Amino acid sequence: MNERQPARRPGGRSARVGAEVHQAVTDLISERGYGNFTVGEVAARAGVADSSIYRRWGSLESLLTDVALTRLNAQSPMPDTGSLAGDLRAYAANVAREITGPDGLALLRLVIALSSMGQQGLQARDDLLDERTRQLQSMLDRARERGEPAPDAFGVLDHILAPMYIRVLLGRGPLTPDYVDGLVDRLL
């Protein structure tokens, strides 16, 4: 995301370093929570120099969002089922499963932590949200290109994602399939 190096061969030393740094961040988050460790501690655990991390990611904040996006893209890729109702139902079901899982509010915790990390934190937060919004927007654009009427990305945020997140945050009831599908149907 904040790649400042020339293109590298996949699977080479750079990919190994990337994987080790990501693992170090994941471990430090689970041990200490967001915002309670430094680039130096990530570097020490991954066995690389601080300067390698700064050169590649620019800041701790950018590194945190890169780790979060990599995880999101692997675990919750945007679905492509052929219909908007199908896509949104699959997407909503995925989010519901993620946020009711063991560390389900990790993404929200990251966003809240970044929000209190000054200008670089806010920038990293916006990069992360912009990237997921772009992915969601592609899904909605595909529907429009097929001739289906589609809400905008903020509609999905406000009326599908927000209710599920707030229900989990407030401990208000399980996110049943009927509830989740109901949010999608109501928006469409």
Tell me the Ramachandran region of residue 82: left when phi exceeds 0, alpha when psi lies from -120 to 50, beta otherwise: left
User: Does residue 167 bind a second copy (CB under 8 A)?
Assistant: yes
Q: Does residue 115 touch a second copy according to CB under 8 A? A: yes
- Kindly state whether residue 108 participates in binding a second copy, applying the rule CB under 8 A: yes
DSSP-derived secondary structure for 35-88 = TS--HHHHHHHHTS-HHHHHHHHSSHHHHHHHHHHHHHHHHSPPP--SSHHHHH
Least separation in angstroms between residue 166's CB and a second copy is: 4
- Please pick, from the candidates 50, 157, 181, 188, the single residue that binds a second copy as defined by CB under 8 A: 157
Q: Establish how many alpha carbons lie within 13 A of residue 61's alpha carbon, considering only the half-sphere containing its beta carbon.
A: 18
Instruction: Output 15 or 112, the one with its CB closest to a second copy.
Output: 112
Site for a second copy (CB under 8 A): which residue of 71, 122, 181, 188?
Answer: 122
Of 78, 60, 186, whose CA–CA distance to 121 is shortest? 60
As measured in angstroms, the least distance from the Cβ of 159 to a second copy is 6
User: Which residues contact a second copy (rule: CB under 8 A)?
Assistant: 108, 111-112, 115, 122, 125-126, 129, 154, 157-159, 161-163, 165-167, 169-172, 183
